Structure 1
Amino acid sequence: MKRYLIMSMLAFSLAGCLGPSSVDLYLQGQLAAEKGKMDEAMRRLTEAIERNPQMGLAYIARGDLHKDRGDYEKAAKDFEKAVEIEPYNFNANYKLGLMYQYLKRYTDAIMSYQKAVEIRPLDPQANMNLAMVYTQMGQPLRGLSYAQRAVNGDPDSYHTHANLGILYAQLGNQDAAIDSLKRAIELNAKQTEVYVNLAQEYLKQEKFEAARGTLETARELLSDKGGAIVAERLGLTYFKLRQPDKARAMYFDALRYDSRYFQAYNGLGVIAMSQSLTATPPDVQLAKEALEYWQKSLQVQPDQPVIRQLLNKYSPEK
């Protein structure tokens, strides 16, 4: 008995000399992260990995810290290592797909998300992200079944309905897009981009009053949160409704939110040039204003071939 106690004490002493285990370091890192001590968390998790290079959980936790810091390359490397250690770990595959998506490595993202979906076939977020990567690659049809599965898996999520609406819009199925976007608004009425996307589908169908109503509702519900994009879309809608004064006011409102919102300058230029050309004789001053608006737009965003063509077309011959 005495010999056993001596051996136990010796083992305890040796453990103390060796320092905390990889599990201890991992737990310390997680606790530090929960307390907002990110530098300490990073150190502890790195020590855990050094102590046990096969500890997949530590790579995932450290990858999360890199992701939160916006360092997606480092995060991807940690998640890659976690997948190498634990190929069937859902979180490792899903988070790796997310990093690849952020890094615009879409083919790699698809492979990682597909692996995640193999592990959890009904996971709404993995299915929807996979669908959206296909959409980002210009292949919405390949993503449709995944988006529908995501909605079936989480029918009360505005996010899944909103993304399904975007996918239908890319497929040119405007009615289905409108239905999905309206459902998203029913579930969460405070998402600016959903109103804008819904209004865009109405504009495609030349349902200008429906577009106006959608955007006006967004302005009422969201107050300043709608910002420049809602005002600019309203400007376009009023222009389509042949109400140039209201359109102009909305474009100026968009610039009040964001003085570099070049789309508003484009709209102001179109209004001024349209009024110039319909006047008898053509209004030279309005034409000059149009050119000035388009020039301001190009100063903000030079890569606008259509606006450059308009400038070349209507600029006075030298």
Structure 2
Amino acid sequence: MDKNQLGVQYMQEGKWEEAAKIFNEVIEENPQDAIAYINFGNVLSAVGDDEKALKFYEKAIQLDENAAAAYYSAGNIYFSNEKFETAKDMFEHAMKKGLHSSDNYFMLGLTLVQLDQGKFALPYLQRSVELNEEDAEACFQYGLCLAQLELIDEAIVQLEKCLKLDAEHSDAYYNLGVSYAFKEDAKKALAMFEKALEIQPDHLLAGYAKKLIEKGQ
């Protein structure tokens, strides 16, 4: 196992100091190793030092302009700091440089949703689900995007898929309820809102929606 792999193993075990030490050694031994800079950046990001992490990703890109993982990791930081335009650019760069992972498609789709570009987000979220059918959150976000574009039947399919993968996803139940209410199926909508509240009793939107349905009956 080389040092980069060992450092990644330490990261997976949550041993951040050991991981940082190893990646630092790699950089000292080989200052041209872009992967070590990406890995060190990921350690810094994991411990909350976003500013320093971005500098390591920038260094990785300077060393290797095709370092797709550096663009992706930088995109995640910009997304979490609500710099969505910059995040979008990073995820798109990662894709152009060959990163066609479900995570990259998912994050690009999510970023476009935040930028109120749901129509553009849709194919990326769809691709994310196609590449990883076991990702409950990807199914949920894809379903949500479909619902926002009033593609209700398709949204229901994805939200139900999400619940097969994660039976405790209260927001999926809530949005299924909204979808059934949109289709004027009050009985199914009420059942979904009740299920959301059973899982999360303080789900304000589900509580409000339940009262509205009950008033209308």
Same fold by TM-score greater than 0.5:
yes
Return the alpha-carbon distance in structure 2 between the equivalents of residues 238 and 82 of structure 1.
54
1:236 is aligned to 2:209: yes
How many aligned positions are there? Answer: 216
Q: CA deviation digits over 1:276-305, x for unaligned, max 9? A: xxxxxxxxxxxxxxxxxxxxxxxxxxxxxx
The 1:80–1:201 alpha-carbon spacing in structure 2 relative to 1, beyond 3 Å, is: farther
Q: Which residue is 1:9 aligned to?
A: none
Give the gaps of 5 or more residues in structure 2.
Answer: none
The 1:232–1:101 alpha-carbon spacing in structure 2 relative to 1, beyond 3 Å, is: closer
Q: Which residue is 1:184 aligned to?
A: 162
1:64 is aligned to 2:64: no
Return the alpha-carbon distance in structure 1 between the equivalents of residues 13 and 157 of structure 2.
43
Following superposition, the deviation at residue 141 of structure 1 comes to 0.9
The amino acid of 2:186's aligned partner reads: F
1:201 to 162, 172, 179: 179
The amino acid of 1:91's aligned partner reads: A
- Given that 2:126 and 2:142 are in contact with CA atoms closer than 8 Å, whether structure 1 keeps it comes out as yes
Return the alpha-carbon distance in structure 2 between the equivalents of residues 101 and 65 of structure 1.
17
Following superposition, the deviation at residue 122 of structure 1 comes to 4.4
1:87 is aligned to 2:61: no
Which piece of structure 1 moves more, 57-66 or 34-43?
A: 34-43
The 1:200–1:120 alpha-carbon spacing in structure 2 relative to 1, beyond 3 Å, is: farther
Work out the percentage of aligned pairs sharing the same amino acid: 27
The 5 Å alignment of 1:6-155 reads 26=4, 29-30=7-8, 32-33=10-11, 36-120=14-98, 122-155=100-133
Q: Which residue is 2:195 aligned to?
A: 217
Q: Which residue is 2:135 aligned to?
A: 157
Question: What is the RMSD computed on CA atoms of the aligned residues?
Answer: 2.8
The amino acid of 1:236's aligned partner reads: A
Return the alpha-carbon distance in structure 2 between the equivalents of residues 233 and 132 of structure 1.
23
Return the alpha-carbon distance in structure 1 between the equivalents of residues 98 and 201 of structure 2.
39
The amino acid of 2:195's aligned partner reads: T
The 1:80–1:204 alpha-carbon spacing in structure 2 relative to 1, beyond 3 Å, is: farther
- Given that 2:197 and 2:207 are in contact with CA atoms closer than 8 Å, whether structure 1 keeps it comes out as no
The 1:143–1:46 alpha-carbon spacing in structure 2 relative to 1, beyond 3 Å, is: same
Return the alpha-carbon distance in structure 2 between the equivalents of residues 196 and 66 of structure 1.
36
Higher relative contact order (CA 8 A, sep 6+): 2
The structure with the larger Rg is 1
What TM-score do the two structures reach when normalised by structure 2?
Answer: 0.83
